[in-house]
Each structure stands twice: as structure tokens, then as C-alpha cells.
Structure 1
């Protein structure tokens, strides 16, 4: 028994050491070699930041790497993917991507298409649109128990270009935690998204209730972003929790004095390194051996 304990201690020590190494990727940090792609690769807009204001146009001369160098405390500038999403000529079948490497692995960050909103990623019979609306209302303490009204909300959102409005994420930063490997993506948005969601309801009325009136005066909701990391499955990320960014879009082309005053951070777990998994499997095997020996000796 003493010999087994010694082997277990050694294996556990090795596993812990490997886990520490695996959880701190050698190339962890920020997005490297960022480039644009997708079927609408040129449909993006760069926003620079001076610390209190974001601005686009000819005065925004910061490099892509500089714009994306922020964090949750100081988001900085951002890159809007699918910038034409709110225009009449927008092609909702195409996407714009931001690609690069983080932690030495490929990452693709994309705007959404109509097909994305209609997809059933969880195979539960619900589209991404339906799941997102349910999550948005639940996160903001809005209860809609009538299925007819819920269906009307979804239809209104489609008819009033709500999907397009939430398909053009503004990427502020892409960082990786050196210890855990977790990837965090900053989404610049409205600290209060109430007016956007109300507009997406239009003037639709159901059972004498104007759907826009279901939207609270203060609501948090980010745009959605599609992420493919290390050639894995696509994931749709969004958030209903925001922090004040300390800045607003009030300079340059298209300044509205409202946008980018909220920072929504979404996260993506890093895949454990193979060495870490092998070490954990070895420890698990030793525990299984110990259990079998215990039963046998009994």
C-alpha cells in the first residue's frame, strides 16, 4: 500500500506540474496577425479612441493592433464587423470576419448572417433568435408567458431588422488569460439598449398591448458574435451584463453621442493541452486501480 501511495503522489505531482504548464500557453496574450476576411471582407469600420471618445473617419489612423489592445478596464477603440448591416442594400447572406492567432491557435471572429439566426445549434427545436430573445428577457426580468405574444415579438424583431441590428459586433479587444487560458472578447455597445430593442418591436400591437412597451426603460443587451477557435465548432457569444466604458462615440463620421458607452465582455474556454489530459487520465487510472485492489482485498 505504501508503494502505491508513493506512486500516486508522484503521478499527482507530475499531473499538477503539467496542468500548470498547460494552463499557461506559451503564446497567450493578445490577438496576433489580425486580418479581415469572410464573404464581405471589406465591410468593416475602424473606430479609434482618445480615452474619452471613439471616432471613425480619416482622423482614425491607429493600427488594427493598437485599436484591439484594450481590456475590460480600458476598452479603447473597436472594429465594427458588417458595418452596412443597417442599410437597405445589406446582403444578409454574407459575413465579415476578424481572424488571427491567440495562444498560438487560430481564431475566427465573425458577424452573423440570416442563416446563423435561423440555426438550431442545440438541436432543441429552437432557433438562435428564439433562444436569444428568451435569454434577453429573462436576464432583464421580463416575463412573457403567452406563446402568441412571444411569437409576435419574434416576428416583429425580424420585420423591423432587429437581427441585422444585432449582427454587427464591435470588437474592442481579444485577450487570453495566461493562467487559465480563457479568452475574453470585448464588445462595444450601448450601456442601455432599451431604445434599440423598442425600435425592433416597431408599432406592433397584440391583444391591445404594444410590444415596445414590454421593453424596460433600462436594459442590457450586447450584439452577438460568432467565434470559431482552434478549428472547433462555431459558438455564438453574447452578454446581458455591461460596465461603463468611460467613453462614447461623439467625434468623427457617424458620431451619435450614445454608442460605445458600454463594454460587454464574453468569454471562451480554452481547450486543455493534450499533455494535461494525459496526466489527468494517468491519475484517474491509478485511482481506479486502488479501488479495484480495495474490492479484491475485501
Structure 2
């Protein structure tokens, strides 16, 4: 009897250990069932990645799920929303969205329209005014307050809003423990020249205020779980290890920076499934009980 008890204790310990291991395994949730929407659902450009270069066009045949499978360490490809935003004749009243579910909740990721930029935030500022303030503060750009209206007019007239309204989505991931959602935005590691192009041609005196190195992501509008719209952006990039090297629209410099924006999400309910080894251990325990029962019946 003692031998049986010892075997039972060992088998039970192994089974519980295996169960614990199986139940604690976790993974980062990703966007499922991705698809396009918005008022112009075809205004998109898909970029695949070979690890060192992103590329669009006929040779980019990856699925949306594959393109969006990256993370902050390895962003991979990306999907550009409102891809024609910087072209002549672009209708800035329309948007393109990437929709899907993450952790069982709906999420809508959208390009921006001109009305989005004029949205009045809780502090009374428009999104345009707030974003410029944040961009200059984060990059130590000391433009005098008296010139702020001039900057906003120049940025608007030179299509600066359009330049930063077509986000390139690299990934949409969720932390299964905290529920936090991370969205990768492919962009320029240094946007100094882009900002100058959107300010200086008609106002050369502003050039002295723009530093040689400046970081800013494009903006993205996010609606999560049918909640209020949030405008997300970042002023801190990490090197992506790749560039837009060939294919449609290749320029040799885009996508060399990864900007990550985050929003709070609801932790998904994770149902633990015992691993095969756990099942084998539980079967062993069951076998020992069956053996004990037979011996008990035989000795009766």
C-alpha cells in the first residue's frame, strides 16, 4: 500500500506541475479578421518586408495577417491608409479604415480627415494646435508663441495635415495580461525635412527654428470597443532596420523608423487548454487508481 501511495503522490505532483505549466503560457494577442473600410476602402497600399527592405506592388503578395504580424523589435511590413493623401485631387473629407477584432473586442483604425484636425479637444485646442504644440515641445523647437498662428496657416496651406494623415500600420498587438494595445506606425526616423516642406517654402524665416533632427509619427484615429475616438501619435522612434527600398513609391528613406502608440484595452479571457504531456500525466494517475481498485476487489 505504501508503494502505491508513493507512486500516486509522484504522479499527482507531475500532473499538477504539468497543468500549472500549461495554464501559465501566454501570448500577445493580434488583430484578427483584418479588413478595410471607411468612405474609401480601396485607398490603401500594402508593403511587404524581406527583413531589410519594404516593398509594394505585384511582388508583395503577403496576406494582411502576415503583414501585420510584426512587433516593436521587428516591425515587418505595413499597410498605408489613405495612400493617395499627398496626390493632387485627394478628397480630404474621406477616410480609409483598418478594422478587426483584438481580444474579442472590435477595433477601428482610421486615417484622418480635415475635420479631424479641427476637432476641439477637452482643453479647448484643436487637434492641429495640440499636435503642433506637442511636436515642438517633444523636439525642443522654440518657435515664439506670436508665430504660432503663422505656423498653423503655413502647415495647412502646404498640405502638412495630409502628409501626417495617412498612417502606415505595421502591427496591432495586445498584452494578454494588462490588455494594453500597441500599434506600430512605420515612418521616417527623421522628419525634419518633411516638416520644413510643410512650413518653410512660403515662410523662409521659420527655417531657423527647425532642427536638423526631428521625430514625429503620422496620426491615427482609433475607436476601440465602440468607445470614443482617440487620436494617437508619437514623437519617439526606434530604428526599424529597414527602408522602403524598391517597388511602388520606393524612396530609399521611408519606413526606417518605428513609432509605437498605445491605448488601454480589456484583458482577453484566456481559456487554458492542458498540453498533451499534462493529459498523459493525468491518465497515469487514473491508471493507478484503476489498479488500486482492482487489487482491492481481488483482496476482498
TM-score (norm 1): 0.79
CA displacement, residues 22-59 of structure 1 (integer Å, 9 cap, x when unaligned): xx9x9960000000000010000000000000000000
The superposition leaves residues 211-241 of structure 1 with CA deviations (integer Å, 9 ceiling, x where unpaired) of: 1332110000000000000000000000000
Instruction: Output the CA distance in 2 between the equivalents of 1:47 and 1:272.
Output: 30
Q: Where does residue 110 of structure 2 map in the other structure? A: 110
The answer to whether residue 265 in structure 2 is matched with residue 270 in structure 1 is yes
- CA distance in 1 between partners of 2:35 and 2:60 (Å): 18
- Once residues 69 and 28 of structure 1 are traced to their aligned partners in structure 2, the CA distance between those partners, rounded to angstroms, is 11
- Aligned partner of 1:100 in structure 2 is 100
Q: Are the counterparts in 1 of residues 239 and 256 from structure 2 also a CA contact under 8 Å?
A: yes
Separation in structure 2 between the aligned mates of residue 265 and residue 47 of structure 1, nearest angstrom = 18
Pairwise CA distance, 1:270? 1.3
Helix, strand or coil at the partner of 1:89 = coil
1:56 aligns to what?
56
Q: 5+ residue gaps in structure 1?
A: 1-23, 274-298
Work out whether residues 28 and 104 of structure 1, in 8 Å CA contact, stay in contact via their aligned partners in 2.
no
Q: Please say if residues 72 and 263 of structure 1, whose CA atoms lie closer than 8 Å, have aligned partners that are also in contact.
A: yes
What's the counterpart of residue 245 of structure 2? 250
Where does residue 75 of structure 1 map in the other structure?
75
8 Å CA contact 2:178–2:267 kept in 1: the answer is no
Q: Give the match for residue 34 of structure 2.
A: 34
Is the partner of 1:256 in helix, strand or coil? coil
Give 2:218's aligned residue. 223
Distance 1:32 1:60 in 2: 20
Following TM superposition, by how much is the alpha carbon of 1:144 offset from its aligned partner in structure 2, in angstroms?
2.3
Contact 2:178 2:266 in 1 (8 A): no
Matched residue, 2:189: 191
Size of the alignment, in residue pairs? 245
Residues 129-278 of structure 1: pairs in structure 2 closer than 5 A: 129-147=128-146, 149-205=147-203, 210-271=205-266
Q: Verify the 8 A CA contact 1:193 1:219 in the aligned structure 2.
A: yes
- Tell me how far apart the structure 1 counterparts of residues 102 and 164 of structure 2 sit (CA, whole Å): 25
How many Å apart are 1:145 and its aligned residue?
Answer: 3.0
1:186·1:263 contact (CA, 8 Å) conserved in 2?
Answer: yes
SS of 1:75's equivalent? coil
Cα distance in 2 for residues equivalent to 1:272 and 1:41 = 30
Instruction: Say whether the 8 Å CA contact 2:154–2:199 is kept in structure 1.
Output: yes
* Compared CA separation, residues 229 and 181, structure 1 to 2 (3 A): same
**Distance of 1:27 and 1:85 partners within structure 2:** 36
Structure 2 CA distance for aligned equivalents of residues 164 and 108 of structure 1? 20
- Counterpart CA distance in 2 for 1:271 and 1:99 is 17
Matches of 1:177 and 1:146 in 2, distance apart? 40
SS in 2 for 1:80: strand
Question: How far apart, in 1, do the equivalents of 2:45 and 2:202 lie?
Answer: 32
Shift of 1:192: 0.3
Rounded to whole Å, the distance in 2 between the matches of 1:40 and 1:66 is 23
CA distance in structure 2 between the aligned counterparts of 1:212 and 1:108, rounded to whole angstroms: 37
**Mean Cα displacement is larger for which, 218-227 or 262-271?**
262-271
Q: Per the alignment, in what secondary structure is the counterpart of residue 161 of structure 2?
A: helix
